[in-house]
Structure 1
Amino acid sequence: MTTPQDELLPATRRALLHRIAVAQADGRAPSLVATVVRGGAAVWTGARSAVDGAAPDENVQFRIGSITKTFTAVLVLRLRDEGVLDLGDRLEKHLPGTGAGEATIAGLLAHSSGLAAESPGPWWERTPGSLRPELSDVLGERPFVHPAGRRHHYSNTGFTLLGALVEALRDARWEDVLRREVLEPLGLSRTTVRPVAPYAVGWAVHPWADALLPEPAEDLGRMAPAGQLWSTTGDLARFAAFLARGDDRVLSAASVAEMRTPSAPADAADVADGVSYGLGLQVRQCGGRLLVGHSGSLPGFLAHLTIGVADDIAAVVLANCTSGPLLSGVAADLVGIVAEAEPRIPEPWRPLREVDPALLELAGQWYWGTYGFGLRVTADGLLVLEPLTGDGRRSRFEPHGDGTWTGRDDYYDGELLRAVRRPDGTLSHLDLGSFVFTRQPYEEGAPVPGGVDPEGWRGIK
């Protein structure tokens, strides 16, 4: 439920409506509906339709295609967090006999396992799942098309394997596990494996004529974990808020942040386009903004969910056409419209509740060789290391309570920071992953690797 201070300004709402109206008209979509999320709650929904008086609202179901993969990834991360599996495990350890057992679970989540993109045989999205009753039917005789771990190669069959993994480890159907562990806790009552009225009908729009053809809505069977779900912009708005913040009933904030972190080696085209892939989530740069989410398509439907984490804004766009408006661009534009028209108001700065003199002693200027850095102590108990000028290595560090800290992001993620003291207890230097940081550049008497020239700094004669 939104409050008056959460509501968007009239000009912002009109700009959002204009964007989806252009998308529906230019993309020739029978209908299109979008919802914008800010601060974890839906703040705007708009729709356009080819039929007067029949525009869908936030409760009308559309098929969401591969956004289903993100739901499947959440189930796998839950298993990891419970200690049932490790992301580095090979599939064979938990699901033997598939013929693709050498793939790691992380590789399957990040589409870097080397598996083929599609299932062999007739177009699986437009034929009944009963044609592929077993995993061997999904994978075929040649499941791998690339060496494992070498590159990102999108694979629907990989997420079929992850769904089978969930079923094996939970001893229950994928859809039952999903409902019990994700949909019900998050209140996603309008997200289902089969359509529940009211729902949109899927259409193909003729590429050279303003004419329609109904698309079949097949049950995907074994391929369901890769693209089966139906949902609404209302439910997906709540799911987007979860992917931005976490929910300890389902996944912690740290685990959803891990999903949003690039994990797959990108190919040259992806690097040029600023696109990468995390664990069940697409990651891309668009207009200087980092966006995470997922696209979806099945015959008759297009879908996109996009989150601008730094702006705390998300957008969901659904349309009932096989091809039409580029929803990734529409969703990115909706995020951008709100972010630029109504920039996020930061939380008030607040000082430390208690000041630890030993911690305060670490603050200030440090040098790695001749590179200058500043080390700040923040109100949440972290150390922040940043270059004094220009771009450079930076990270936040969380304390262990014993005079050491571990990097939690960027270059020094996972690296150990130690405050090294002299025998008399005074602070000597910082050791960061074997790099020595001193108060002065190449400080005399400090244990700088390679030593410091005893004649010191000099000019040119």
Structure 2
Amino acid sequence: MAFKFLPLLLAIASVSGSTVTAPRRGLLAPQKRDTSTPTCFAPATKLPPPKAADVKSAISSADAYLRALAQTDEVDSVVAAIVTPDGSIYEGTYGSLRANDSALVGLTVDRDSIYRIASVTKVFTAWESFILRDRGVLGLDDKVSKYIPSFKLDTTVRQLATHMSGIPGTLPAGNMSSWPHGFDGSGNPPDNGLPFPTEADTIAAINSATLMVAPYTFPLYSDTAYGVLGLVNAAADGKVNGQYAALIKRDIFDKLGMSSSSFKAPASTERVVVSSSEPVEAVRFTSSE
């Protein structure tokens, strides 16, 4: 996903319940874990609003920190904003648009620069699930198979969203015959040597895979599970012809006026930030493809 300004969401969940049985297939033995529906903690005591001087001091400290950070060898650029219900109270832009491009030396990022945000996209996927839940379109404890009949596991929507499904993180899996001497074949398609998977490819790979852990026994970060969550959202909505990007645009981007955000880099890449460490990543998928 290409993104202009990034709202950060923080969710803290607790789990309570009883004993988990062994996974149908898996690597770990049964563990005494809580398995009931996760619930959010009660809101903390409301704190008094900060004083204007405190806010000004905090912004000054943040500005100095980010400015120094963008001058290190590890960071090309930073674009940051502090946004309140009354609007933005701080915007800072620091560093190079394309630090590895000698022809663009001196060209800096600004508030209209576009970054590829990679797995922060998962925030939007989970957010969409909550939107659809609130509309009565899906239930967080519904089985995935309710929306994707070819999905054979007993996984629920909530398990996908909380990284508690036990589904391996990078499916379909590549050929890692060189392991442990090399990492060839690791990661997600197409980085692992396989073509970018279709929906059917992904579901088939999950159906035949070994669960890494039983659901709700241990958090397992899974790109694959979140891919399925996006498919569930689109299937449950039923109004976007299975197009996940159209769903997010309709329910989040358009509602918030995020007109510069998209799932593919724009065909005209003048505003696209290119990392010096991963120059291909920023424009791997463009709207011209």
**Same fold by TM-score greater than 0.5:** yes
By how many angstroms is 1:62 displaced? 0.2
Distance verdict in 2 for CA 1:143–1:24, change over 3 Å: farther
Aligned pair partner of 2:154 in 88, 98, 102: 102
More strand by share: 1
Q: Distance in 1 between matches of 2:79 and 2:133?
A: 35
- 2:168 touches 2:222 (CA, 8 Å); kept in 1? yes
Q: Distance in 1 between matches of 2:235 and 2:157?
A: 14
How do 1:372-387 residues align onto structure 2 when only pairs under 5 Å count? Answer: none
- 2:190 touches 2:196 (CA, 8 Å); kept in 1? no
- 2:189 touches 2:196 (CA, 8 Å); kept in 1? no
TM-score (norm 1): 0.41
Summarize deviations over 1:227-259 as a string: whole Å, max 9, x none: xxxxxxxxxxxxxxxxxxxxxxxxxxxxxxxxx
Q: Distance in 1 between matches of 2:235 and 2:195?
A: 20
Aligned pair partner of 2:221 in 142, 154, 159: 154
Aligned to 1:177: 247
TM-score (norm 2): 0.63
Aligned to 1:203: 276
How many residues in Structure 1 have an aligned counterpart in Structure 2? Answer: 207
Letter of the 2:122 counterpart: K
Q: Distance in 2 between matches of 1:9 and 1:164?
A: 42
Letter of the 1:107 counterpart: Q
How do 1:217-228 residues align onto structure 2 when only pairs under 5 Å count? Answer: 217-219=283-285
Aligned to 1:419: none
Matched, 1:124 2:176: no
- 1:6 touches 1:43 (CA, 8 Å); kept in 2? no
Summarize deviations over 1:174-216 as a string: whole Å, max 9, x none: 0111111211011111110112341111321xxxxxxxx6234
- 1:7 touches 1:43 (CA, 8 Å); kept in 2? no
Aligned to 2:19: none
Sequence identity percentage: 21
Aligned to 1:55: 108
Q: Distance in 2 between matches of 1:188 and 1:32?
A: 19
What SS does the aligned partner of 2:274 have?
coil
Q: Distance in 1 between matches of 2:86 and 2:225?
A: 31
Q: Distance in 2 between matches of 1:49 and 1:82?
A: 42
How do 1:398-437 residues align onto structure 2 when only pairs under 5 Å count? Answer: none
Gapped regions of structure 1 (runs ≥ 5): 205-212, 221-461
User: Larger Rg: 1 or 2?
Assistant: 1
Aligned to 2:233: 166
Matched, 1:14 2:60: yes
Letter of the 1:218 counterpart: R
Distance verdict in 2 for CA 1:132–1:125, change over 3 Å: closer
How do 1:285-304 residues align onto structure 2 when only pairs under 5 Å count? Answer: none
Q: Distance in 1 between matches of 2:212 and 2:90?
A: 44
Distance verdict in 2 for CA 1:167–1:129, change over 3 Å: farther
Aligned pair partner of 1:83 in 136, 152, 158: 136
Higher relative contact order (CA 8 A, sep 6+): 2
- 2:78 touches 2:95 (CA, 8 Å); kept in 1? yes
Q: Distance in 2 between matches of 1:112 and 1:68?
A: 18
Gapped regions of structure 2 (runs ≥ 5): 1-50, 100-104, 175-184
With 6-15 and 171-180 compared, the bigger mean Cα shift is at 6-15
By how many angstroms is 1:11 displaced? 4.8
Letter of the 1:59 counterpart: D
Letter of the 2:231 counterpart: A
By how many angstroms is 1:107 displaced? 0.8
Q: Distance in 1 between matches of 2:53 and 2:223?
A: 39
